[in-house]
Structure 1
Amino acid sequence: MANTTSGTVSQPSHRNVTSPSASRVTESTSLLRPDRPEYDVHGAGSTYGSSPPNCDTSNEVEGKPLPTRQILLLCYVRVVEPLAFFSIFPYISQMVQENGNVPDSDIGFYSGLIESMFSLTQAIVMIFWGRAADLIGRKPVLVSSLFGVTFATALFGMAKSIPQMILFRCIAGVFAGTIVTIRTMIAEHSTPKTQARAFSWFAFTGNLGIFLGPLIGGALANPTRQYPGAFGSIEFLKKYPYALSSLVIALIGATAAVSSLLFIEETLKKEVTSVDRDSEDRLDAPVQCDLSTTQLLKASGVSKVLYVFAHITILAFAYTAIIPVFWYTPVRLGGFNFTTFQISLMMGLNGAAQAAWLLLVFPPLHHRVGSNRVIRLCALAYPWFFLCCPLGNVLLRMDTEGSLRIFWVFMPVTLALGSGVAMSFTAIQLAVNDIAPSPKYLGTLNALALTGSSGLRAFCPALFNSLFALGTRTQLTGGYAIWIFMFVLGATLFISANCLPEPEAHKEQGD
């Protein structure tokens, strides 16, 4: 979708080939060469990047209203993947101990392994789901993925050994192709004027799934012990204490699959070409442009956008992994020494603030300045947002009445304001859509972005938590080493963001 302030959609050129045969051969051959000017995909003045000549692309019509029903259905489907991923976190350690009878020292290893297998398998198969969505259609991939992840999630709660837990988690990851298809379908339902609002809803529902997943998992795990009056007599739940949580998540997935099958519309526009078989020159027919994954990565601007996507993803996963541990860590070691209740309150504030930024601020801001400038504004804010954490610890270490009062004003305010960096997640998604050479590659391009994201989600939490633990143990730079590293990592995002390809529409308007 376009990064334009005006929201206009420039129409691509669909030229009829009338030149001599030799020139037609030269022109059609150049379509598969990203280094040729004809393949320039910087043009965010159109719904997608400038399309190669003679490729049949489909542009959104200016003024087309956002299909609210379709977007809401897709947003409901969006909740399923984070629910399936995060719902096991509250009980995974206990489940590992009961199923594997492993020593306490090994529980963390197996828990982390099982958690990460979802993202690892998701990263491996994501590109195949993206290609399938581009070839056979978005809806078949979406529905089949939903039924698969629903089935695997239901089985996970009935696993009775660690190998079974790993197997079912891998199967769930294999079928977690829903997110790439949903992103693509929302992009195809949107126009330059409505894309920011649609993707702000998409981001909000993703965060909602992250929030609700652990709540459902923790509330429904081992119900015969938690709620003996209601479930104590059910033998099935005694034998499978984690089945109820998984079955409830699976039920949500099943309703999403059925609603998708019945009500969600296909968005992939099939290319229809008519060839006059009696024509002397078959080159008069439109040329079918099929790019390999390698050619797509070499297309102008694609690799730069995907790099920034990965950079923002690292910052997000790193902060999300560190912050709960940091809040819990004693003040003398560099943390805040929060209670569980205080951590819950701060996480709730963070979620509410992100929702406000995404739903209320991002759409008008994006309409005014475009995706790239939203990303650059967030890039400027990231380092200072990270710096607030050690500054808060400094106030707590002072341990005076005045410093504590300042802390309890300073931290909630900075957390609420700093949560605005979440707009960068949605903005970079729109930048990925903008850079697609044509709509037919949206699925593959989103799959490439999410392949990297899934791989990073498998490794980043463990890596950054280890770095945090190392800094706390050694008290390097007073226990602030991780935040210095995060400050530098956040600062370098601004350099990366300045390399993003500029939309031609903004250049022409002097924006």
Structure 2
Amino acid sequence: MASYSSCPASNDHDETTPLLTVSNTEAQQLVKRATPLPKAQIAALCLVRLTDPIAFTQIFPYINEFIAFLHVTDDPSQIGYFSGLVESTFAITQLFFIYYWARLSDRLGRRPVIMTGTLGVALSTMYFGVSSSILDLLICRCIAGVFAGTASVVHTVLGEITDSTNQAAAFPLYGLVWPIGSIIGPLIGGSFSSPASQFKTFKETIFERHPYFLPCFVAGLLSIAGFTMAYFCLEETLATKQRPGEEKNYMSSTPEHNTHEPAPVTPSARELLSFPIIRALSLSGFALEANGTSFAVLYVLFCYSPIQNGGLAFPPSTIGYSLAFAGVIAGSAQVFLMPFLLRRFEAAKIYNMSITAWPVTFLILPTLNMIARYGLDESTGQLGSRSHSALWIGIVIVLALSRVGGIAYSASMILIRNNVPKPSYLGSANGLVQAFMCFSRCISAVFASSVFAFSDKYNIFGGYFWALLYASIALVGCSLARDITRNSKNMLSVS
């Protein structure tokens, strides 16, 4: 049986190719030219993937106003509770369905599952805009979360249409989609809500009766665009569901998994976790998501809190600018740094190098507060020029380290692809690891904000207990990542 983690050389040589020694074969693979990327399929995958963060984030700018508009509560202080409930419903339902969509794709095929999910997200997002009660809002977000659970199947297809020679180009490009969608979503929500109050054209229309329908409609149209592109450009990559004569050089298309065999039995979560590499990727993925999500929460709280309470006392505009800068760093890391690393190091080593950035990131944050305390002129309430410069140098370092830590997300997808025990397990393995990450995302934000408040209230370790705790959690993640190195198969991308 052909090894799933090796370069797909079996399709590059016919039976007339002379037999080579092992060393000569390895030498040929090292100089092997990159397989051309299926550009149309990757574009379709990126557009489909873009619908998830847009649908998730486009409600953030207006959800509080929407709840007030629906008169859900007469107490303004309770609006935040209901908005948080609506916002979290999406992620919670996605958590419960992401693994089952992945298993379903191993039986029915990738294409129908992806298209069903994309269309479901489109329709539920549009209906959200015409909701007339809090129950409607919750139902719509639940439905959207259910269908957004197909995201792991998109990861699977990307792994199946690439190989070790071109993944250094494909995965970093795909990794850009989520941060871009997280920027586009709030822009859509903020720009298109309540159009009748801004433009006379929308007076006495559905957009006046339902002032938050337009952003939902625009987000839904983008999902429909993703559905349409997937329909025309996305090919089936599950070998057992390809039509005769349509077999391509996909990783699932091994001789042992031809299109004339019945669909393989999908593995259970317990069976997948019995493989050390899948277990290590799942547990480390949980820790990785805890680091990333918690940092996003803690950084904003840290910047917003007064200096005497252990923060930096930044206004919202400054926090926003720093986060925008962090997005630029993230994009640059994906486009320039990630391909460079993949061509020179194995994915497991990149994952380990990336994950080690998190303990340092959390430990540097308290030193920024110390700089602010030392340089604060109490008479003016302003920082001295030297302290101000030192503070921003530290912020740049922290944000850069956090984005280096984020490289592990792309490395994780590559590791799953290269190390899955059987080709037919790829969809389920992706779904399982994503489920661990999604569960971590659901609990990390609440836990991080609670720990920060607890540290500040009781002044534990000078109010820096949260940083010490998360540095310790990050160190545990580093330990789990070493299990990946011990159990992964070597796979070096070449060009």
TM-score by length of 1: 0.81
After TM superposition, give the deviation of residue 496 of structure 1 in Å. Answer: 0.9
Q: 1:121 aligns with which of 81, 89, 93?
A: 93
After TM superposition, give the deviation of residue 195 of structure 1 in Å. Answer: 1.6
Partner of 2:37: 66
1:166 and 1:237 mapped to 2: Cα distance? 21
* Identity within the alignment, %: 26
Name the aligned partner's letter for residue 338 of structure 2.
Answer: F
Cα RMSD (Å) of the superposition?
Answer: 2.7
Question: 2:106, 2:266 within 8 Å by CA — same for their partners in 1?
Answer: no
Q: Is residue 2:226 matched to residue 1:256?
A: yes
Question: Structure 1, residues 74-97: CA drift from partner, whole Å, max 9, x if none?
Answer: 111111001001111122122222
After TM superposition, give the deviation of residue 213 of structure 1 in Å. Answer: 1.1
Partner of 1:326: 302
Partner of 1:461: 445
Q: 1:434 aligns with which of 418, 427, 430?
A: 418
Name the aligned partner's letter for residue 260 of structure 1.
Answer: A
Question: 1:372, 1:502 within 8 Å by CA — same for their partners in 2?
Answer: no
Question: 1:358, 1:422 within 8 Å by CA — same for their partners in 2?
Answer: no
After TM superposition, give the deviation of residue 147 of structure 1 in Å. Answer: 0.7
Partner of 2:407: 423
Partner of 2:386: 402
Structure 2, unpaired ranges of 5+: 12-25, 27-31, 245-259, 377-383
Question: Structure 1, residues 398-452: CA drift from partner, whole Å, max 9, x if none?
Answer: 1244222211233224423542111111111211222212222111111111222
Name the aligned partner's letter for residue 361 of structure 1.
Answer: L
Question: 1:396, 1:407 within 8 Å by CA — same for their partners in 2?
Answer: yes
Q: Give the alignment of 1:181-196 within 5 angstroms.
A: 181-196=153-168
Q: Is residue 2:176 matched to residue 1:204?
A: yes
Partner of 2:358: 382
After TM superposition, give the deviation of residue 506 of structure 1 in Å. Answer: 6.7
Partner of 1:29: none
Q: Is residue 2:450 matched to residue 1:479?
A: no
Q: Is residue 2:244 matched to residue 1:268?
A: no
Describe the SS at the equivalent of 1:175: helix
Q: Give the alignment of 1:8-407 within 5 angstroms.
A: 8-9=7-8, 63-99=34-70, 100-225=72-197, 227-229=198-200, 231=202, 233-270=203-240, 290-293=265-268, 294-398=270-374, 399=376, 400-407=384-391
Describe the SS at the equivalent of 2:67: helix
Please say which of residues 97-106 and 248-257 is displaced more in the overlay. 97-106
Describe the SS at the equivalent of 2:164: coil
1:287 and 1:495 mapped to 2: Cα distance? 41
After TM superposition, give the deviation of residue 379 of structure 1 in Å. Answer: 2.5
Partner of 1:26: none
Describe the SS at the equivalent of 1:315: helix
Question: 1:353, 1:417 within 8 Å by CA — same for their partners in 2?
Answer: no
1:101 and 1:286 mapped to 2: Cα distance? 58
Question: Structure 1, residues 51-79: CA drift from partner, whole Å, max 9, x if none?
Answer: xxxxxxxxxx9843221221122111111
Partner of 1:39: none
| TM-aligned CA distance change 1:297 to 1:461, over 3 Å | same
Question: Structure 1, residues 154-190: CA drift from partner, whole Å, max 9, x if none?
Answer: 0111112111110111011111133112101100011
Name the aligned partner's letter for residue 173 of structure 2.
Answer: W
| TM-aligned CA distance change 1:228 to 1:101, over 3 Å | farther
Please say which of residues 240-249 and 101-110 is displaced more in the overlay. 101-110
2:437 and 2:189 mapped to 1: Cα distance? 24
Question: 2:303, 2:313 within 8 Å by CA — same for their partners in 1?
Answer: yes
2:476 and 2:462 mapped to 1: Cα distance? 24
Structure 1, unpaired ranges of 5+: 13-44, 46-60, 275-284
2:300 and 2:122 mapped to 1: Cα distance? 29
After TM superposition, give the deviation of residue 104 of structure 1 in Å. Answer: 2.4
After TM superposition, give the deviation of residue 123 of structure 1 in Å. Answer: 1.3
2:427 and 2:230 mapped to 1: Cα distance? 18
Question: 1:130, 1:181 within 8 Å by CA — same for their partners in 2?
Answer: yes
| TM-aligned CA distance change 1:183 to 1:506, over 3 Å | closer
Partner of 2:432: 448
2:481 and 2:362 mapped to 1: Cα distance? 18
1:244 and 1:475 mapped to 2: Cα distance? 46
Question: 2:267, 2:425 within 8 Å by CA — same for their partners in 1?
Answer: no
| TM-aligned CA distance change 1:263 to 1:487, over 3 Å | same
| TM-aligned CA distance change 1:413 to 1:492, over 3 Å | same
| TM-aligned CA distance change 1:447 to 1:126, over 3 Å | same
TM-score by length of 2: 0.84
In the alignment of these two chains, the number of paired residues is 445
2:52 and 2:465 mapped to 1: Cα distance? 34
After TM superposition, give the deviation of residue 200 of structure 1 in Å. Answer: 0.9
Question: Following superposition, which runs of at least 4 residues in structure 1 exceed 6 angstroms of deviation?
Answer: 1-4, 285-288
1:66 and 1:218 mapped to 2: Cα distance? 36
Name the aligned partner's letter for residue 319 of structure 2.
Answer: I
1:504 and 1:146 mapped to 2: Cα distance? 33
1:383 and 1:3 mapped to 2: Cα distance? 34
